[in-house]
Amino acid sequence: MSESLREILDLQLFWEFRTVLLRGLAVNFYVFIAAAVLALSLGLGAALLRNSRAAPLRWLGTLHVEIFRNAPDYVMVVWVHFVLPLLIGVVLHSRFEFNPFVSAMIALGFVYSGYFAETFRAGIEAIPAGHLEAARSLGIGEGLILRRIILPQVVRSMLPESINQFISLFKATTIVSLIAVPDLMYQVSMITQQQMRPLPLYTGAAITYFVIVLVAGSSLRVLADRWRARIRA
Amino acid sequence: MIRVVDVHKRFGTLEVLKGVSFDVHRGSVVSMIGASGSGKSTLLRCINHLEVPSAGDIFVDGESLCFRGAADGDRRPRSLAEINRIRRDLGIVFQQFNLWPHMTVLGNVTEAPQRVRGMSRKAAIELGEACLDRVHLRDKAHEYPARLSGGQQQRVAIARALAMQPKVMLFDEPTSSLDPELTDEVLAVMRELAEDGTTMIVVTHEMGFARDVSDQVMFLHNGLIEEEGPPAQLFGAPRSERLRQFVSKHVA
Amino acid sequence: MNNWERLVWNQRDALLAGLQVTIEVCFISFACAIVGGLVLCLVRMYVRPLRPVATFLIEFFRATPILVQLLWVNYAWPEIFGWPTSFYQAACTALALQSSGYLAETFRGGIEAVPRGQREAAFAVGMSPLLVFRRIILPQVLLGSAPAIVNQFTVIVKSSTLVSVITVQDLMFQSQKIVNIAYEPIEILTATAALYIAFIYVVSMIGKLLADRLRRSYGIAAH
């Protein structure tokens, strides 16, 4: 066992391939950013839909949220990558393919839009009705109300929960390795097949994510607390 | 029955009790009054060891609550098990009721008799229902505390304390958390207990109760007993100036 | 015979077998996660010398992605510890570890949320600390955490979709096998996705009902 421990702590191999692995990690970040942007916009849209006065729009928003919040990440990624292009191809009468990066972005973006929609909804409902009534009776238009009253308060109150969801999304990007996107875990698998030494690489990957999540998580939370304290409602 | 001897209590650098001594005889009702911060709650909580005195001792029926005499004549602090044994004879009713929300009313009342005194379920239920009778809540036995009003919850708390058949009942500002309309039902139950001969020590702001029901009243100020005696004396002819001011402020 | 019949309905035996494996793995991992979470939580809160170890483990299991944990447990652990000895064991272990981390924190929040007065009332009637924990604290923690615990089950179900990567023959594995043979993914993958979504939706509805029931009966707010 001690030989294996030495092997596991021998992160030399991890260090040796650091450029390739770092490039893989960067791919994780790219996917994360792209998916996050999509998830935020769709999530906000769905939350607003659920808040609207028209019943069919509310229903649509709820449908979106219930489907995507309950969908497993991996299943969605596989479906978007293998099934969606075929469906689009049928419509376009031609063969259609997704770049795996795009599949990942779409799949993760939609799934996490479900979580963000719930977060935003909680934030919107937390706004005292009085604020909105006051704004409307002053004649302020809906668009302006959204931008100047709803959004700032939602962002402020839901920031901690959103940070947790961003971190989950970042962790979820490891799935893209399974559809041949050259992210960190993909590179790890490639090198493992070559070198036949899984221990240091998988351990290194685990430690890398641990460090990133811990550091990013705490710093984001500290920044968020400071920012929220500064704009005390 | 209860003897408090020179009890001091310090929290960090703040000395809340500065040497309090008094006796409570069997069957008597003692009220403790005083301004907030005078130490009355702390003193009450020392009596059943929820706070540990920094100095001094408390005797329950002649037995020291804080120390036990060892074979070599030395005194050693009591173990938790021994303290718990003595605690069984001291019932306490808290300002915040502190009922256990995941148990029914009857469950709350029978929990300690079963688990601590080892009574059988049947016997505990009989006892529990009798105690609920005394506080006039027998019909709520199978409700959960969340469904009851504040006054009802406090009466259940009283029944829970009574179920352990304690020698003394301690009350820590039992009506301070209640709306005025609900206070009376709790005070009525306490009055009945007093008439039944229960030994009671009551920390309260309800001067009416202190004056009408107690045998003895203690006025605490700044961690010391400023004045003590029968209610007629403390309320009718207060000796200290502070007490005079306190009484005129609090008695309508 | 259309594709739906050919690819999905006629394969239902294989799919059901896969579903059974999925459900087994999920329940085993779930049970282990609850026990593991409780142990980690109690060690972290009450066993002072082991506190940093427990805290580190909790944070480690929460911070690493489930795929990384699956691969790590499956490929690295046998060399270090000589265990797990099967892919199935590795899958259950990894899923359980991840959820123990989250549940440990949930339980900790629950324990700290029990008002101090309730402990005092219990001590005041002479209950020992062990009795207080067993009869007063633990029931409330489990009741109050029930929605979060049910939610963690949905997390396990979602994470279980990845165990096909270490060749555990769950529902995803069976679906992908059919796709590899038939080269026609639309019906089978859509059916699989719909099945997972429906299952998880039902579980989350149960969680929501639980939360409502708790609040109404006991006045305990879910946390």
DSSP B78-109: PPHHHHHHHHTTEEEE-TT----TTS-HHHHH
- Mutation choice for C interface testing from A210, A214, A221 by most C CBs within 10 A: A210
Residues in C touching B127 (Cβ below 8 Å) = none
Per-residue pLDDT of chain C (223 residues; tens, 9 = 90+): 577 777 778 888 889 999 999 999 999 999 999 999 999 999 999 999 999 999 999 999 999 999 999 999 998 888 888 888 899 999 999 999 999 999 999 999 999 989 999 999 999 988 888 999 999 999 999 888 888 999 999 999 999 999 999 999 999 999 999 888 888 888 899 999 999 999 999 999 998 888 888 877 776 655 5
- pLDDT at residue number B241: 84
pLDDT greater than 70 at residue A130? yes
Q: What is the mean pLDDT of residues B78-94?
A: 86
Structure tokens at B248: 């005129």
Rounded CA separation B183/A106 (Å): 62
Task: Compare CB distances from C121 to B85, B98, B102 and report the shortest one's residue.
Answer: B98
Rounded CA separation B57/B20 (Å): 10
Task: Compare CB distances from A174 to C65, C75, C176 and report the shortest one's residue.
Answer: C65
pLDDT greater than 80 at residue A231? no
Structure tokens at C130: 């062990």
Rounded CA separation A98/A78 (Å): 11
Task: Compare CB distances from C135 to B80, B92, B115 and report the shortest one's residue.
Answer: B115
- pLDDT at residue number A2: 62
Residues in B touching C113 (Cβ below 8 Å) = none
Q: What is the mean pLDDT of residues A192-205?
A: 82
Domain ranges of chain C: 3-218
Q: Give the largest CA-CA distance in chain C.
A: 74
Query: CA of B100, closest CA in chain C: separation in Å?
Result: 6
pLDDT greater than 70 at residue B70? no
Give the length of chain A.
Answer: 233
Q: Which residue has the higher pLDDT, B246 or C36?
A: C36
Q: Please check whether residue C143 touches B, CB under 8 A.
A: yes
Assigned fold of C3-218: MetI-like fold (1.10.3720)
Strand order in the sheet with B90-93: B90-93, B168-172, B199-203, B29-34, B216-221, B224-229
Q: What is the mean pLDDT of residues B40-54?
A: 88
Kindly give the interhelix angle for A2-9 and A198-230, rounded to the nearest 10 degrees.
Answer: 50
Rounded CA separation A58/A56 (Å): 5
What's the pTM value of the predicted model, to 2 decimals? 0.85
Cβ A31 vs Cβ A101: under 8 Å: yes
Q: Please check whether residue C130 touches B, CB under 8 A.
A: no
Rounded CA separation A186/B58 (Å): 71
- pLDDT at residue number A51: 82
Q: What is the DSSP letter of C54?
A: H
| Element housing C144 (H / E) | helix C138-160
Structure tokens at C162: 């990845």
pLDDT greater than 60 at residue B252? no
Give B63's contacts (C-beta < 8 A, 6+ positions apart).
Answer: B86
Cα separations (Å) of A134 from A10, A139, A151? 64, 9, 16
Structure tokens at B216: 């003895």
Domains delineated in chain A: 2-230 (1.10.3720.10)
Query: CA of C122, closest CA in chain B: separation in Å?
Result: 8
pLDDT greater than 90 at residue A125? no
Q: What is the DSSP letter of C114?
A: S
- pLDDT at residue number B34: 87
pLDDT greater than 70 at residue A151? yes
Cβ C126 vs Cβ B85: under 8 Å: yes
* B102–C143 CB contact, under 8 Å: yes
Touching partners of B (3+ C-beta pairs < 8 Å): C
Rounded CA separation A175/A72 (Å): 11
Q: Which 58-117 residues of chain C touch chain B by CB within 8 A? A: 115, 117
Cβ A127 vs Cβ A84: under 8 Å: no
pLDDT greater than 70 at residue B69? no
Domain ranges of chain B: 99-165
Q: Look at phi and psi of residue A62 and say left if phi exceeds 0, alpha if psi is from -120 to 50, else beta.
A: alpha
- pLDDT at residue number B180: 87
CB pairs under 8 A between B and C: 75
- pLDDT at residue number B57: 87
pLDDT digits (tens, 9 = 90+) for B193-203: 999 989 999 99
- pLDDT at residue number C221: 59
Residue B191's identity, in one-letter code, is R
Rounded CA separation A124/A116 (Å): 12
- pLDDT at residue number B149: 92
Number of Cβ atoms within 10 Å of the Cβ of B9: 22
Rounded CA separation B126/C28 (Å): 43
Rounded CA separation C158/C146 (Å): 19
